[in-house]
Amino acid sequence: MGVVLLFLVSCGSTLDREMKSQSEVVKAETIPSDYNPEAKLSELNIILRDQGIPAANYVHAVRAGNLLFLAGKGPKQANGENVVGKLGAALSLEEGYAAAREVAINQLSVLKAELGNLNKVKRVVMVNGMVNAVPEFTNHSKVINGYSDLMVAVFGNAGKHARAAVGMGSLPGNMAVEVEMIVEVYQ
């Protein structure tokens, strides 16, 4: 049985030229002069903190093209302790909201470490919020608002995102909230 090898060679088709033209447009894209999430952090008195090296076999973020996928983070506070407990039992809705805000600060810290400057964030695309809750708890979205509200405060309209807010029977270390995020970045 013979083997047939087929090689296709492009000679500059119209599609090739269109794709090249589109990629040049993306490269020419610049950050708007009035967009400054770094200044917003200062206005909000938010101090970002080193997230250290992941304790397990993963990385904080993976970039694919102009998308940055952030691993799930928990509500580790400035003192190094996680907010722990179940919403609807040990924690109130207000405590859950504050815990989700802590997660947002941690994710902003990852973004800053990965990009060097938050002004490179073009848009927050997707947020997946997980809430450690008792089965009867139904205010998951109000908890994750602590995260979403901070993203909008820092990035303005570019911080508005698609989102899931779901309840979990447990989370690692009994932390109250975990959130993962996808952002689009300027090339």
The confidence score (pLDDT) of residue 7 equals 47
Look at residue 9 and tell me whether its pLDDT is greater than 70.
Answer: no
Look at residue 171 and tell me whether its pLDDT is greater than 60.
Answer: yes
Q: How confident is the model at residue 2 (pLDDT cuts 50, 70, 90)?
A: low
For the stretch 126-141, pLDDT in tens is 999 999 999 999 999 9
The confidence score (pLDDT) of residue 31 equals 83
Q: For the residues 53-77, what does the mean pLDDT come to?
A: 96
Domains contained in the chain, CATH given: 37-185 (3.30.1330.40)
Q: For the residues 31-60, what does the mean pLDDT come to?
A: 93
Q: For the residues 81-108, what does the mean pLDDT come to?
A: 98
Q: For the residues 31-47, what does the mean pLDDT come to?
A: 93
The confidence score (pLDDT) of residue 18 equals 57
The confidence score (pLDDT) of residue 123 equals 97
Token code pair at residue 141: 């979205």
CB burial string 160-183: b at 16+ within 10 A, e below = ebebebebeeebeeebbbbbbbbb
Bridge partners (DSSP) listed for residue 131? 167, 177
**Cα(147)–Cα(100) distance, rounded to whole angstroms?**
5
**Cα(94)–Cα(91) distance, rounded to whole angstroms?**
8
Look at residue 17 and tell me whether its pLDDT is greater than 90.
Answer: no
Look at residue 15 and tell me whether its pLDDT is greater than 90.
Answer: no
Look at residue 28 and tell me whether its pLDDT is greater than 70.
Answer: no
Taking the model in full, what pTM does it have? 0.84
The confidence score (pLDDT) of residue 141 equals 98
Q: For the residues 160-176, what does the mean pLDDT come to?
A: 98
**Cα(175)–Cα(180) distance, rounded to whole angstroms?**
14
Q: For the residues 140-148, what does the mean pLDDT come to?
A: 98
CB neighbours of residue 106 within 10 Å: 21
The confidence score (pLDDT) of residue 23 equals 47
Q: For the residues 16-26, what does the mean pLDDT come to?
A: 51
The confidence score (pLDDT) of residue 26 equals 45
